[in-house]
Chain A
Amino acid sequence: MGSTLFDRVWEAHVVAEPSAEPPLLYIDLHLVHEVTSAQAFDGLRLAGRRVRRPDLTLATMDHNVPTDERPPDSLARAQLEALRRNCEEFGVPLFATGSGREGIVHIIGPELGLTQPGLTIVCGDSHTSTHGAFGALAFPIGTSEVELVLATQTLPQHRPGTMLLDVTGDLPFGVTAKDVILGVIGRIGVGGSIGHVIEYAGEVIRGLSMEGRMTICNMSIEAGARAGIVAPDDTTFSFLEGRPAVPKGAEWERALDRWRALASDPDAAYDRVVEIDVGGLAPQVSWGTNPGMVVPVDGVVPDPATFADPGDRENAERALTYMALEPGTPIQDIQVDRVFIGSCTNARLEDLRRAAQVVAGKRIAPTVRALVVPGSAGVKQQAEEEGLDRIFEEAGFEWRRAGCSMCLGMNPDVLQPGERCASTSNRNFEGRQGRGGRTHLVSPETAAATALAGRFVDVRELALEPVA
């Protein structure tokens, strides 16, 4: 029986396997941000401990930072200041706001080339699964574990199960990686892969760019998975080549040999196998308050009475009340007040290019306020070099500085109570984007087209060129 990609990465990082304890796993890269780290650094200080490997740790500021000229509130400022002090005291490199190197933690790792195949990566943030797109084993941890990794560079971990998600079929025109993962979560459910690492495979995944693979791995957590992972291939290698943290020359060649050997064996065994054919998939729009509550853009708001499971039915009823939606309403009749293009799910350069192509030369609906927030200072700079900022601004979008922004409402970018938003982010939980705000998760293309029309639009009806 062969090994899976997950097996190989896991087994290469086992430091110890004590008989009565969980295996101890070595961590190659620890990413840190302001919201889940302060208490961990305090714990180190109280116990007189140090950070074992500051050279394998990188901090940035993303969740709390304002993306315009407004100052952070006093609590946010205190938290950002705590991170600055902690990084100084413990010797951890920090890409602070205004350094020109800051960004959403899951965007800057890949951008720097720190996210590499075969690594173990952790971060005190649930969307750490993003890094799995490179064939890294990347999983989220809580603050206690952040402290543990800071102190020991290891993590006691029970071995998770494995799940193969074979994505087959031809991805239809106008249907994106975001639609694929929303469709997957809609099918397997928000608890559908609890305790498992999902390996995404199949022709559709092979055909995706690294940006698309990151979008898919990013939302693994919304299906309950421990992590998502994709076998590295030439797409991965050409994305990485030449990035600052990537080896050069003969070292690069050696790295390629190592990375090519990571892929799962054809006869590898998984605990679960799910095949999904996306041939008939339409662009997806979420209608409820978790990311599994999705329908095709040409569909209607479902009737809770049609749900077989009583728990699902009650959740759907509560969700429709919160979302102020009636069963049977065509999705394309739903009007939005706000559009948010951003987040660790969809704020990379390719996402912005795709959205810009939709809005170029057009104007957003007068009833809509729309925001584009690049995922990092680097993405912002590249986008501006390509003139994307002007395209968005001429169309009526606000062009902002890098940060998590309206994905989670911890900074000044929030929905007002009752406002409805088409959002490229990852969570439509109650109040996620602001108290009383109503979130509909969509792809960047759908978000952009929705901003123009003021209501949801089927992007398959637009004349779009493929974006490189």
Chain B
Amino acid sequence: MKPLPRRIEGRIAVLERADVDTDQIMPKQFLKRIERTGYGEFIFFEWAKNPDFELNRPEALGASILVVGRNFGCGSSREHAVWGLRDAGFEAVVAPSFGDIFRTNCLKTGLLPVVLSEDEVRALMDLGSGAELAVDVEEQTIGSFRFELDPYERQRLLEGLDDIALTLKRGDEIAAFEAAHPSPVSTAAL
């Protein structure tokens, strides 16, 4: 994972919609690709065909912070949605809440998920797309607001740590667990 910069400074793009599902962020036809990059041009593919779509407005172009409504990224587990947002240049997404899998996928991919209260998100939306904003990942602040971030996740994001390498360091503990708990099922003999 590419480390996240300690400070993210850039413009915001506002998408004032609740319950945006990952089918909208990255439609199914792009899930047949077997690559991990190159999804940026496909985000919000159907909505983006409308010239009036919020993210098509000139002030939203080149934004690095996406401000959205509650339950953003609900639905399908497709990590492609997060890859697309990253590829499109976003480094942080701000919402009152996220779909659980989407939020985890963000943390695994290096897209910062920021949860603020409804009122705080409203205040950022009122700034409008194109407004300049700074996120301090280490201090856990965005503009004048503070956000929660698990210290372990923060360190992983800032250092770009490889989850698998970290977990493999616990190989002895995993082996001990396996020795003490024989597997109830096996797919080998089916």
Residue positions of A touching B, CB distance < 8 A: 12, 15-16, 20-22, 24, 26, 28-29, 35-36, 38-39, 42-43, 47, 49, 52-58, 63-64, 73, 75-76, 78-79, 82, 93, 112, 114, 116, 118-119, 124-126, 140-145, 147-148, 151-154, 156, 158, 160, 190-191, 194-195, 221-222, 224, 226, 244-245, 247, 255, 290, 292, 311-312, 314-315, 318, 408-410, 427, 429-432, 435
Contact = CB atoms under 8 A, between A and B. Distances in A.
A154 B174 contact: yes
Contact of B79 (A36, A47, A112, A255): A36
Contacts of A125: 77
A190 B187 contact: no
A53 B187 CA distance: 10
Contact of B28 (A82, A119, A153, A408): A408
Given A152-B164, A429-B24, A54 B188 contact: yes
B52 interface: no
Given A58-B187, A311-B69, A79 B32 contact: yes
A310 B24 CA distance: 21
Contact of A152 (B168, B183, B186): B168
A314 B17 contact: yes
Nearest to B23: A429
B130 to A, nearest CB: 22
A-B pairs, 3 with minimum CB distance: A191-B71, A144-B108, A311-B18
Contact of B77 (A22, A124, A153, A222): A124
B120 interface: no
Nearest to A91: B188
Contacts of A54: 187-188
Interface in B157-190: 163-164, 167-168, 170, 173-174, 177-178, 181, 183-188, 190
Q: How large is the interface on B (under 10, 10 to 19, 20 to 34, 35 or more residues)?
A: 35 or more
A47 B168 CA distance: 12
Interface stretch (B59-67, B93-101, B131-139, B141-149): B93-101
Interface of B: 16-19, 21, 23-24, 27-29, 31-36, 46, 69-71, 74-80, 82, 97-101, 104-105, 108-109, 150-152, 163-164, 167-168, 170, 173-174, 177-178, 181, 183-188, 190
Given A126-B76, A431-B46, A153 B18 contact: no
A435 B32 contact: no
A417 B184 CA distance: 47
B125 to A, nearest CB: 12
Given A24-B170, A158-B150, A429 B21 contact: yes
A28 B33 contact: no
A315 B164 contact: no
Contact of A58 (B101, B109, B181, B190): B190
Nearest to A153: B174
B113 to A, nearest CB: 12
Contact of B71 (A35, A194, A408, A409): A194
Contact of A28 (B77, B99, B184): B184
A427 B32 contact: no
Contacts of B21: 290, 427, 429
B167 A148 contact: yes
Contacts of A429: 21, 23-24, 75
A290 B19 contact: yes
Contact of A64 (B27, B32, B178, B184): B32
A29 B185 contact: yes
B182 to A, nearest CB: 11
Given A191-B70, A410-B31, A431-B27, A140 B77 contact: yes
Given A112-B190, A191-B19, A36 B77 contact: yes
Given A141-B101, A144-B79, 20 more contacts: A12-B181, A35-B32, A57-B187, A75-B32, A116-B184, A119-B184, A119-B185, A125-B77, A143-B80, A144-B109, A158-B150, A190-B19, A194-B99, A290-B19, A290-B74, A314-B17, A409-B28, A410-B31, A429-B75, A431-B23
A453 B168 CA distance: 58
B167 A24 contact: yes
Given A57-B187, A79-B32, A432 B23 contact: yes
